[in-house]
Structure 1
């Protein structure tokens, strides 16, 4: 039974009511919340029998508030875990939150920065220009003349989110216990989600992301990143340069400015390729609202609360998998998946090869201009789910970002084809990669690492020899199959021991009856009768256990 602190009881009760309302009573039953689970008043249920599972999940999350909405939005990126119907519903989640009073915003700014609005701004618009689950966005002008946008966090939002995260972990454990055979580990997802949420609660994290992007693209004439005003930025306040431009959905203004929308779409896609393949650091939510056109052939990215990281080793494996797919090398793809620890113990490798072969051959002969990358990624994720493959979470973030950037580019150019851009980029990428100066730089890094490793080898060898001399080296073998073999041997020896006992009883009882000694029972020696009875009883138990054991093994 879950013990909860008094301050969290009300929130637990609210969550339990909503879960029951939308048909997830089993979660509440599994939670066994002390003092709550069995005292929940009857909730007026909506007519949920006509709702799909995805719709019930979405509505429940919307009703539960900011933390749960954010969880749903992140889960909507996990095409590798959830069915398309649920993903589609979760993608509809919107942070329909009410705005908080301007006076609270002024108080929070003063508490965080130590200055009043009047000390910092020559003009500040009290009207909210954007409202999200974590905070609100305002616009103003610094006394030094720069126009800025200011994000201010909601009052008490951190306490609410921390409480919800604690409750979510309990819910995750309950769901994992209910679906023990599921590939999805909800506790693991909640832990990853908790890290993301706590980062979003600290606006310094978003500010550092923004500054890093600015450094990466400082020499790119096609990309603009807003400046961070650190003097007026803290954990709960973020002040950034105001980007003046046109939304990519505003076709009329784009046309009036005589901008080439096709070129702008290509610029956005190419910058995204650079983020992934060159920097290993990418904007994880490049939807139309986060991309602004600031001039002819120039765009700006905004909102760096969610970013993705991809290390060089993983990037190399992704590239290997890509080229293996082009060459129809099934075995190489499987090797890469093994290197990523993605193939589970219960994965059927024969079925995996069959499905992979079908997937590759289906798309192999399609002209590159006709390939819909979003469709390919979604099909690949279905293949992943079907074959119990568990990819690192950064894959899901990357897949979602690719789908989003392709969708944003198609807003500007309906004929946009990301695979064509990707193919052209890879040519340039590998030409630069094998440039003599880049090769020399890579060799320098490699030789430096090699020299460092060689330096430590003698010390490691001496340590191994010393341990050998003292007989302090132990060899440990840990394998799940050895555990099952151990259990099988244990069961077999037990059954063999019982069989020997039964045989001994039968032989001993026969001798007693033959000699006709001792007290009698209906003319037969009592000890012999007892021995036969015990042997019969134990024999029946042994036969039954063998039958059930064989049946379980077959299942």
Structure 2
């Protein structure tokens, strides 16, 4: 109870500081976000970082919500790091003994007491298994699950209050919190990350310049993850001298192509490839680490995302808007013409930037925000993909400062399309299509026979449904009557004009009486027709 009260105090301080901030009130009420001060965004990120691991993870997830936060806040939150002081080695030994059932000295030939990396959820030690296999062992921080459970319980209480008083008109706070809880608890289960390592390593097995460490199943549990040790340096820390020996262009192209395959072909991708999770190995390859966050995309969504990425890269704003409207859910305030104009303008501005400033991920995040502002409910995978592409661009520019995302898209678009078609041509799909064809072939003779018999008996009928057939016929009759009356009136006027030259002793206003009679008859008929048309319109409006 004391821990929860202390957490409520921290939350109250945070709410008092940011609860009335412009970006918070606009996000909660579904209003358009304005540009934000980058320094204020950085301060917000630092305050989140000071509140501990739960808030750090919350900030990292919020960095994918372009529909809620201004761009400056997305940038600040995407750079959140959770580097903290390591916990004592005695706690490492106790956790390994509890999880693996043996002492550290029995499980490993060597085990470094000092960690090579420490974060809010756990830390990593270098070790050697019996058999001389070098491994990295990630050990979960003691008590971290209990601390996160307390934080989530406090979040839940606040979410219930916010939903009850209607403080968040545009955000289902309870649903967002449930998504956050599920994501965070999955990250606390290291067995999930082990499965992610196996999945991504299998996907990228043909990329010789990319390395993904494989887990050691017998030494992996919910709180201990043992995987191959991959030596290397974070790409942001590699010296300029070493970069001169690296084929950065080849690495950047392979890296981008690998993620296109994950996203558009496999449907499972590493969702957090920021530069801190990418290493340059001593043999000048790229190593991916920390696969706790994985994104998944359905086959249908993959198709639409491929169209969207190509439309953005080629500057086709109208096509990009069409795809966005297809993949998103429409709210009551949706306005199709407004969203098309906004997306066309956004993609146009993107095309006018220089190559160094181009960023497909940034455009996708801006499109997500734009869609939310114009009545679209953006699927989470779209913003997660935008953040992933944003990080890909950052990594690409570290490897090659002039890395051209658009050129890479154009180079690999045909290859991706070909592989997607080959993937769909699986034995199961072919067999299913063959069954459909067989069923069609079996039923075709019977159906043709029925049509021929109906023709022979003069009994072939077509059923055509017409909306309110009687009203349509009545309307056509009225139109025909008015056309006929108009022709009669026109004939009267023409006849009157011709009779004007016929001399007669009886005149009206100095004109032949018969010509004037025809003119008056035509005028009366014209007034009568105008009156019936106007009166009919008034009656129809009242009926509606």
TM-score of the superposition, structure 2-length normalised?
Answer: 0.70
Q: CA deviation at 1:374?
A: 4.2
Aligned to 1:158: 145
Q: CA deviation at 1:360?
A: 3.9
Aligned to 1:206: 193
Whole-angstrom CA distance in 1 between matches of 2:208 and 2:174: 44
2:103 corresponds to 1:116: yes
Whole-angstrom CA distance in 1 between matches of 2:122 and 2:313: 45
2:274 corresponds to 1:287: yes
Compared with structure 1, are the counterparts of its residues 21 and 59 closer, same or farther at alpha carbon in structure 2 (3 Å cutoff)? Answer: farther
Whole-angstrom CA distance in 1 between matches of 2:107 and 2:130: 6
RMSD: 3.4
Aligned to 2:217: 230
- Secondary structure of the equivalent of 1:78? coil
Q: CA deviation at 1:153?
A: 0.6
- Secondary structure of the equivalent of 1:127? coil
8 Å Cα contact 2:372/2:378 also seen in 1: no
Aligned to 1:137: 124
Gapped regions of structure 1 (runs ≥ 5)? 1-5, 27-49, 455-555
Whole-angstrom CA distance in 2 between matches of 1:177 and 1:85: 30
Compared with structure 1, are the counterparts of its residues 447 and 179 closer, same or farther at alpha carbon in structure 2 (3 Å cutoff)? Answer: farther
* Mapping for residues 148-547 of structure 1, pairs under 5 Å: 148-176=135-163, 180=167, 182-252=169-239, 255=242, 258-294=245-281, 298-322=285-309, 336-363=323-350, 371-434=358-421, 438=425, 442-447=429-434
Q: CA deviation at 1:432?
A: 3.8
- Secondary structure of the equivalent of 2:205? coil
Q: CA deviation at 1:415?
A: 0.2
Whole-angstrom CA distance in 1 between matches of 2:425 and 2:78: 42
Aligned to 1:553: none
Q: CA deviation at 1:287?
A: 1.6
Whole-angstrom CA distance in 2 between matches of 1:436 and 1:276: 14
Compared with structure 1, are the counterparts of its residues 123 and 327 closer, same or farther at alpha carbon in structure 2 (3 Å cutoff)? Answer: closer
Deviation digits for residues 449-506 of structure 1 (CA, Å, limit 9, x no counterpart): 898999xxxxxxxxxxxxxxxxxxxxxxxxxxxxxxxxxxxxxxxxxxxxxxxxxxxx
8 Å Cα contact 1:223/1:300 also seen in 2: yes
Deviation digits for residues 230-276 of structure 1 (CA, Å, limit 9, x no counterpart): 11110000111110234323443763782211211111111111111
- Secondary structure of the equivalent of 1:137? strand
Whole-angstrom CA distance in 2 between matches of 1:62 and 1:368: 34
Q: Which has the larger radius of gyration?
A: 2
Whole-angstrom CA distance in 1 between matches of 2:102 and 2:312: 58
Compared with structure 1, are the counterparts of its residues 171 and 439 closer, same or farther at alpha carbon in structure 2 (3 Å cutoff)? Answer: same
- Secondary structure of the equivalent of 1:170? helix
Deviation digits for residues 394-434 of structure 1 (CA, Å, limit 9, x no counterpart): 11111101000110110111100112111111111223445
8 Å Cα contact 2:359/2:393 also seen in 1: no
8 Å Cα contact 1:249/1:412 also seen in 2: no
Whole-angstrom CA distance in 1 between matches of 2:40 and 2:237: 36
Q: CA deviation at 1:119?
A: 0.4
- Secondary structure of the equivalent of 1:303? coil
Whole-angstrom CA distance in 2 between matches of 1:410 and 1:125: 35
Aligned to 1:19: 14
State how many pairs are aligned.
Answer: 427
Compared with structure 1, are the counterparts of its residues 448 and 10 closer, same or farther at alpha carbon in structure 2 (3 Å cutoff)? Answer: farther
TM-score of the superposition, structure 1-length normalised?
Answer: 0.69
- Secondary structure of the equivalent of 1:122? strand
Deviation digits for residues 54-73 of structure 1 (CA, Å, limit 9, x no counterpart): 45643442332111111011
8 Å Cα contact 2:316/2:344 also seen in 1: no
Aligned to 2:71: 84
Gapped regions of structure 2 (runs ≥ 5)? 22-36, 442-544
2:5 corresponds to 1:10: yes
8 Å Cα contact 2:109/2:128 also seen in 1: yes
